[in-house]
Structure formats: C-alpha cells, structure tokens
Amino acid sequence: MSRLFTKLWNHRSLISSHTTIGYQGLSMIKRSFARVLVVLLGGVTAATNLYAKAFNSCPDYATCTYELPGAECADGTPMFLNVTRRPNATKLYIYLQGGGACWDTVSCDCHGDRCYGGTARNLTRRDPQQTHSGWTDLSVPANPISADYNVVEVPYCTGDLFMGNRERKLGNPKHPITIKHFGYRNITKAFAAAKKLFPSPQSIVVMGSSAGGLGAMFNLHQLRKFYDKAPAYVISDAGAPFKIPYVSAEGVDRLISAWGVEDIIPPDYAVISPGPIDFAGLLRYNAARFPQDRFAFISSYNDWVMTAFSILLGAEYGFSTIGRMIRDVAANDLGVMQKVFYVGGERHTFHNVPPNDVLSGQINLADWVSKMITGKPDWSNQL
C-alpha cells in the first residue's frame, strides 16, 4: 500500500457522516485517492501480442494464449485469452480479471508504461508459477473449481469494468489521448470464442475479481446469449454493487456516460429495474430476468479499494460507505438465487486466497461456493 494511501486511510475520520469539510479539501482528497487507486489497481498495459497456436495443439493442463480477433485494449493493442483444457472436463470456468477504471483525462492519462485507468497485470506472466493462480490452480486446497472444469481467462485492459462501448478523444492538442473503452465488445468476443472451444458444458461458473466482478454481474445477459441452457453461476469477488445514494447519482452517471453504457444496456432494463442505473439495480434486473441463475457476492465489510473508489463516486458516508452499502444491498436488493458472503476487515479480492482459509462465522468460503455451484438447497447468506 502506498504511503499516500496509508496516510489518507489513517486519517479517514476526516471524511464521515458526521464531518463537513470544504470543497477544496474534498477535491484534494479525491484527487489523491484517484492517483493512489489507479496505481494500486494497475495500468493500461497492452496485452502481449502472441501468435495464437491451434487449440488442438495445446497440451492438456497447459495454458495457451490466443489473440482474440477484433478485441482491443484501451490503447488499441490486441487482446487475448488464456485457455486451459483439462482431459474429460465437463464444465466451464470463465475468469474475468480485475483492474482499475478511468473515465476522463485525469484518470485515463498514461505516463510511460502505466495508465491511471488501468487494467491489471498481463495474464501471460513471465513467472509460469503465477500463470494459474488462485482458484484456477488445482493444487489449492479445497478448491471448488476442480479438474472437471476447463478454464478460459479473460484479461481486463479497457478501464471500463467490461461495460464500455465507446472510443473517446481526451487530453489536449499538445497531449492527445485516445481511449478505447470496448470492454463490452471484448466480452462478446470472449464468450463467442469460449462457445466455439467448449460448446456444451454441463454447467458454467463465471467469476470476476474487482472490476471483473462488476463485469460478470453486468454481462450475464451476454453469457445467456451464447449459453442459453447450461446452469450458470456468477461470482463477484469484491466487485461492490455500488448503489445510489450511498454513492452519488452524478458519480455513477460519469461512468455510464463516459463508457457509452446507455447504448448497450438491455432494452428491458428500465422496465424490470426502473430508476437510475446503478449496480444494485443490475442485481435486481438479473434476479428478475434470469431467476434460475445463482449469483454470489464476496466482500469484506471495509474493502479498502472499493472504499477509495466510492470516495471518487461521491461516497455518502465516507470511509464507512462500503459497509453500510453492502448491508443495505443484502437486505433489500437480492433475489432468491442471489447470496452474499461477508467477512470482517479491509481485504480486497479473495481469488488468490485458499478458499478454505476464508471464514464468515463458522462457514468457510470453499464449502459455501461448493454449495452454490452444486445446487445445494442449504446455500445461504453469510453476514
């Protein structure tokens, strides 16, 4: 954690529901958070331009990288998929990578090889031991994603939570910036490629971390266009469902407008989930539109990254916003097939933690997710 973020975090009492600060002070804090948040979440680093091998030549259990024709990162470089085929696997696991977000010149301006709006690290890492980390690693104890799952990993490199559909010209004449917020289009192509490689899985688990978690939530309707019959399970790992008024309508609208979300949101959204677009509304939409699909949200009560992001979006309760908001979501916005797993502390994302080490009360995350994806009737909220 950077020194600046640590300093701000240690003085978080400056922003609370009981404190009023001046406009200049709030603007300074927001700018500081913006700079820290995007550096911590990663930069818009181009996906490695590797020549794709024929899928059938990829050995079992190996991770092979394929460029995804027509898919682009924010800087216009090609996007790719990482694919792992496991012999005799009958199910499919799609993982959406996490990273940062950007929506204007300040947040999207690149410096060297980093970009404020960023995207997480390249999934084709030089360290082969890290290529398959977290739940895609079969050596993880009690891993609910077993050898019965083929794996498709989708990198995040568009700064738009996999929701964007717009190219933007930012900066100024001396320093022009072109940002391609095409995350939504990239997901379309990723799901299409997955369908060609694995056309008939018995079931599908889509998990995303941070930005990927929000993208998984938003793109359930896309998944169902390609896989309309197989049972689907969507897991948002620390992708907080930002809800108005816990964050400001103006803050959410900045993202929606910058990324062109109005152009690609399902046409029946306003009928099923009326009111301004926010992520709690997307939960309600998915529950009504896809009532058979199970959805899980995993979060700490004081997720420090999402707390910082909420500040940028006009957090109503400062540093206590996330805890208040996710309690409200659990009480008022979940459908019958949507559950939450909340833990104490400030941790952001759990994909790289052995799930049997994560406890909510007396229930560990491995058992809880296993109950979810095997259709157990006693799967329940853990608050």
CA angle 216, 217, 223 (to 5 degrees): 60
Domain membership flag for residue 353: yes
Long-range CB contacts (< 8 A, 24+ apart) of 66-69? 66/193, 68/186, 68/189, 68/190, 68/193, 69/189
Q: Residue type at 228?
A: D
Domain membership flag for residue 11: no
The reported pLDDT for the residue numbered 27 is 42
pTM: 0.85
Domain membership flag for residue 248: yes
Domain membership flag for residue 275: yes
pLDDT tier at 32 (50, 70, 90 boundaries)? very low
Pick from 129-133, 208-212, 362-366, 377-381: least confident: 129-133
Domains contained in the chain, number: 1
Q: What CATH number did the domain enclosing 235 receive?
A: 3.40.50.1820
pLDDT digits 0-9 by tens, 51-81: 344 567 789 998 888 888 999 988 888 888 8
Burial code (b: 16+ CB inside 10 Å, e: under 16) for 23-34 equals eeeeeebbebbb
Domain membership flag for residue 2: no
> What's the domain range around 236?
35-373
pLDDT digits 0-9 by tens, 286-344: 999 999 999 999 999 999 999 999 999 999 999 999 999 999 999 999 999 999 999 99
Domain membership flag for residue 8: no
Domain membership flag for residue 200: yes
On the question of pLDDT at 101 being above 50, the answer is yes
Domain membership flag for residue 22: no
Q: What is the mean pLDDT of residues 135-152?
A: 91
Distance CA 296, CA 355 (A): 14
Those residues whose C-beta lies under 8 Å from the C-beta of residue 54, and which sit 6 or more positions away, are none
The reported pLDDT for the residue numbered 4 is 40
On the question of pLDDT at 97 being above 50, the answer is yes
